[in-house]
Structures are given as C-alpha cells and as structure tokens.
Structure 1
Amino acid sequence: MIAGAGGGLVASIATCPLDVVKTKLQAQRAVQGQRGYLGIADTVKTILRDDGIRGLYRGLGPTILGYLPTWAIYFAVYDGIKEFFGEPPMAGTHHEQDRLYPAAQVKGYQPTMREHPWSLHIFSAMAAGAASTTCTNPLWVIKTRFMTQSKDELRYRHTLDAALTIYRTEGIRAFYRGLVPSLLGIAHVAVQFPLYEQLKLIAQRDSDKPLTSQTILLCSAISKMTASIATYPHEVVRTRLQTQRLPLADDTSSDGMVKHHTRRGIIYTTRNLIRKEGWTGLYRGLSINLIRTVPNSAVTMLTYELLMRQLSRRRRTSHDP
C-alpha cells in the first residue's frame, strides 16, 4: 500500500497539469455564440493567462487525499479475492519476488509473471477498482470541480470548503455524480489484460530468457493506451455529470417564475452530447490523455520499484540477527 500510494502520489504531482488540461477539454460544452477552448494549446494559454502556473495544479489537493484510501481499499480487495479464489505465491519464491503491483492507475494491474490465471487477475482488478472507485468518488467529484473552475467563478477555496459547499447546496447525491460511468470504465481491464498477456507472448516467442523491463513497459503502455482509447467516452460523460451543479431547491426568478432543476442521468447526458457535438464530442481530450498515460505509468512504476527495494532492504535488515 505504501509503495503503491507513493508511486501514485509522485505520478499525480508530475502529471497534474496534463490532467487539468484533459478535464477542461472534457468539460467544455459546445454552445453556439459562446467562447470556448479551441484545443490543447489554447487551453494551456488560457489557464496560464488567467491563473498562472497555479492554475495547472488545481485539484491536486483532493487528488493526493484520494490516493491513500484508493490504494488501501484496492490492495485489500484485490489481494483478498486472489487469496480466496487462488493459491497465493509462497513467500520468498521467485514468483513472489518478481510480482509487480498496479502501474498507472488502480484500474490496471500488470504483473510481470502470472502466479494466477489472467481471468482471476481481471476479476480481482475489476472488483477492487469498483470498490475503491465507489468509496472515493466524492474526492474525484471535488477534484473535477476544482479543475474546471474559471477565474470568474471561484466557488471553492480548499478541499474542505468544497465538500461543505457541495453538501449544503446540492446534497449528498452530488458526491456520487459520475459514479456509473466510472464503474463502466473499469471494464477497460477486460481489454487491457488479455492484450497485455498476448503482447508478452509475442515478445517472448521461443526465447527462454525473461522479458526485459523495457519490453514489459512497452507491452504495458500499448495495452493501456489501446484500452484507454476503447473506453475513453466514459471519462467525458463522467466529467459532464460531475460538473453539473444542481441546487437542492428550485430557484424563483425576479418575476416569480419557478425554475425547476431536472436531474439528468448518463443516458440523457450521452445522447445530448452526441446530438449537440457529434460523436467526436465523446473523445474530447483524448490526445492529452494518451500523452498523460505513458509518463504517468512510467513514473508510478519507477517510484513503486524504488520504494519496494527500499522497503525490502529494510525488512531484510530488521530480520537479520
């Protein structure tokens, strides 16, 4: 948990600017006659002009706060399922030493060797991802709200203020907007794992030598990018739902007319997005997301490995007579 959370922490800080740009691109709505972002370069220029460098790190607080419980829940559920349905590797064995835990995100578990069938890896990863996503969704809603704030609309001062403001004005349900598409997005593991295993088999061929770290990293990156492209629309829909601000009570205008706030779900949001912006609207921010995926994965894996070596060294030292 410590190694995974440490890797995720470093990766979240390193790639936060890319996450902010991606989220803003996902959240922008095509409204005729209104100013909007034209693309990645224009988005970055607008953020720097309006908010400076700090604007590229909006939402970092709830992101960091979300990593520890995310990894804690993920590891507990993942290892619990594997131990219940399959035999865990023996301590000190070659399998146990070479096992590699999650890479870029909690949704993607990429072992260097399969000590269990890949089908069990997929089931365990999806169940663990669903549990951690459900428990930490409120923090990701707050993160998305921070990242999509404009300079003219500073509603939230810090994470606690955002949580209290959302609860007072929109109720507890607001913290779980976008949960359904997030859970649907976990299915990308079903794309990533079989492809990852197949790529490793192709790279291995008839060789008896173990795959190099560079080859494993390449197989991991290709499988993750493919899965991300295949399941990306759920991220756009999730962001649109999380940025909906619907007050608890209906508003009354100055002329006495009552304005009702209709709560729209995933189906309406998706249909409305396609109708107004076309199918390409479901892929807003895809390019920046792909750019973000590779360094995020690399930083997480590198940090994880360094931390695991340090922790293993200390563990061996403490057990030496």
Structure 2
Amino acid sequence: MAVTSSSTTASEGIQGTKSSATIVLTNSPHNQFFVWREFLWGALAGGFGEGMMHPIDTVKTRIQSQAILAQSQNQKTILQMVRAVWGADGLRGFYRGVAPGVTGSLATGATYFGVIESTKKWIEETHPNLGGHWAHFIAGALGDTLGSFIYVPCEVIKQRMQVQGTKKYWSSVVMKEGASDASLSMYGYYSGMFQAGCSIWKDQGPKGLYAGYWSTLARDVPFAGLMVTCYEALKEVTEYGRQKWFPNSRFHVNSSFEGLVLGGIAGGVSAYLTTPLDVIKTRLQVQGTIVRYNGWMDAFRRIWLIEGAKGFFRGSIPRVIWYVPASALTFMAVEFLRDQFNETKTPNTDTVTSLILDKSKPPLQQN
C-alpha cells in the first residue's frame, strides 16, 4: 500500500505490527502539480510568442485575404507583400492588430497548457487505455476549444485590422490596387481594439465577432491535437535515442532548449498540414458584411473551383515561418517557467511515498 505522511507518523503506525516494513523516503521538490501555474505559464508563453511573430502573421493574413480585397488572380508573393506593407505603412503596418492578437494568445495559451496538463493526468489515471498519444491529442484539442471563446473574437478583430493597415492605406492604396467600392465598404476603419469590437458588435452583433467560429475550431482542434502529439512524440524519441546511444552517460538536454527545438518542429509540421483550414477561416473572418462565402462548405467549394488546390495553400510558407519560431518560443518559455517556478520549497524533512509490508521477515521488535 502507499501512504503520504510524515516519517514520524509512519513510524508510530508501524509499531505493534507483526510484519516488517520497507519505507521509501524522498524529498523531491517536483512531486506536486499546480494547475494554476500551468495556466499562468501558458498565458505568458502564448502572449510572448504572438508578440514576437506578429509581423509574419500580418503578411500571411494579407496574402490569404487578397482574393477578397483585390479581386485579382495576379496576387502578390511573400516578398512583394512585404515590400507593399513596408512601402505603404512602414514598420507600423506589420504590427497592426497586435493588441487583440496578444490578448487572444494570452487566453489561448492559458487554457491550452493548463487544460493540457490537467487533462493528460486525468485521462491517464481514469482511462489508461487512452493514455499516450491519444491523451495528448484529446488534451490539446480540448484546451484549444475552451480558449476559442475568447480567441475567436480577438482573431476577427486582429485580422481585420491587419488587412486595413493604416488609415491612409485603407482609404487609398487598396482602391489603387483595384478594390471595388463594395469591398472597401465592408467595414469602416478601426482606430483600436475596443473601437473595432464595439463597431463589429454594432454592425453585425455577436455573429460578427464570432465569424468563422466553426472554421476556427475545424482548424485549431486538429492543429492543437497534432502539435501536442507531435511534441510529446518527439520528446519520447529524443529520450529513447539518449538511452540507446548514451546509456551510461549523465548527459541531459536542457528542457528549455528541448522545448525550443522540438516545439518548433511540431508547430511547423502541424501548421503546414492545417493551412487549407486556415485559408477558409481567414476568408470567412475578413469578408465582413459583404458576404462572398456562405459558410465553410461554400468557401471550400468556391476556392476549389476558382483557385484550385493552390488556393488552399496560399500563405502556407509565412504560416509555417510564423509557427516554427512562435511554437519554439512558446514551448521554450513554458519549459523554462516550469523549471524555475514549479519547484516547491519544503522543509528538509523526509516524506514517505510508499510503504511496503513484507510478512516473510521476522516481526519488528519493540523496545
């Protein structure tokens, strides 16, 4: 049997028994799990990753939304779009919409990592048959689903502000590139995050703030599940390789560095595989009151008929470029914060973690 108690209490309980006992003592500072810390570290890491990589996300959003704004098949490449944003708005244009982006990432990161850790532990304890990669996939999907209630409105606001750029760009540059009056009147210029939210609510109600909600879940649930599963699988492969090739070595990879490398790989692979879902989501959220796509299936059908398979992978390169460092920084930050702050300061008293009774040995002698 296993008990958790102080060594003094355990020894008092053992006295008078007719069986010998083996007491395993430990004083590990990592034996406690605090859910709130996982939520906090996840929020900080998510906001950090979004803030660092927002300019690349702006380029990706502009590329994916060209079909709506420019009404042209002669669409810009990555470098052309970078030059266009810089020429029109300068550095400021790349950081348009960063406030709602960071806000949404704070909420998503908190629920993502907090729910992942607690759900993984619950699944592995109550449903052992769903352990391993299935537990990781379910936990990641559930965490992202819960975060979507805050993340989606922030994403809608962020992407609309990204395609607008500065007021000068929205009123003149888009028109010069061939946008119609209808396209330009999709929504007025947003001066900030809160004004944008109020404006969308006034014009379209909750439906506007949650535009593309189901397409966001269709993208993020498999993405979150794939990324966590891939990350955990890579960690297992790394540990297996270390034990196989360096069995007697004390070499240990720093967890922050491991999170940086493996998190980047997991994020890049998952991002590319879910790019078609991201294209559909972006188009639905950017279109505003001038409806071009009547739902997820209509968007899928029209993109396929008009643009072909290539249309579904527009922005795939900047999306991968964004997610590799963003995921790397996020997982690195989480692992670093766990290492630095998840250690519990306890007195120098031993703790009983297991008590093994062995009736084959002579009984304890009492003094």
TM-score, length-normalised on structure 2? 0.67
Letter in 2 for 1:122: F
- Residue matched to 1:277: 307
1:311, 1:60 → 2: CA distance? Answer: 28
The CA deviation string for residues 57-80 of structure 1, in whole angstroms up to 9 with x for no partner, is 011010122233323333454344
Which of 87, 92, 99 is 1:61 aligned to?
A: 99
- Residue matched to 2:10: none
CA contact (8 A) 1:17 1:57 kept: yes
Structure 2 portions without partners, runs of 5+: 1-38, 172-187, 350-367
CA contact (8 A) 2:47 2:109 kept: no
Which of 114, 117, 124 is 2:132 aligned to?
A: 117
- Residue matched to 2:253: 212
1:196, 1:72 → 2: CA distance? Answer: 18
CA contact (8 A) 1:30 1:276 kept: no
Which of 214, 226, 230 is 1:180 aligned to?
A: 214
CA contact (8 A) 1:237 1:269 kept: yes
- Displacement of 1:287 in angstroms is 0.8
2:306, 2:73 → 1: CA distance? Answer: 16
- Displacement of 1:304 in angstroms is 2.9
CA contact (8 A) 2:140 2:228 kept: no
Query: Quick check: which has more Rg, 1 or 2?
Result: 2
The CA deviation string for residues 208-248 of structure 1, in whole angstroms up to 9 with x for no partner, is 4677355665444333322222221111100000012117x
- Residue matched to 1:156: 190
- Residue matched to 2:345: 316
Change (3 A) 1:320 1:9: farther
- Residue matched to 2:160: 145
2:304, 2:106 → 1: CA distance? Answer: 36
Does 2:269 match 1:239? Answer: no
Moved more, 60-69 or 280-289: 60-69
Cα RMSD (Å): 3.1
CA contact (8 A) 1:170 1:246 kept: yes
- Which structure carries more relative contact order (alpha carbon 8 Å, separation 6+)? 2
- Displacement of 1:144 in angstroms is 0.9
Does 2:147 match 1:132? Answer: yes
Runs of 4+ that moved beyond 6 A: 30-33
- Displacement of 1:310 in angstroms is 4.1
- Residue matched to 1:73: 111
Aligned residue pairs total 279
Change (3 A) 1:293 1:32: closer
- Displacement of 1:13 in angstroms is 1.7
For residue 76 of structure 2, give the secondary structure of its aligned residue in structure 1. coil
CA contact (8 A) 2:47 2:102 kept: yes
2:229, 2:330 → 1: CA distance? Answer: 22
CA contact (8 A) 2:260 2:329 kept: no
Which of 58, 73, 91 is 1:20 aligned to?
A: 58
TM-score, length-normalised on structure 1? 0.75
Letter in 2 for 1:146: M
For residue 316 of structure 1, give the secondary structure of its aligned residue in structure 2. coil
CA contact (8 A) 2:264 2:326 kept: no
> Equivalent pairs: percent with the same residue?
27
CA contact (8 A) 1:16 1:56 kept: yes
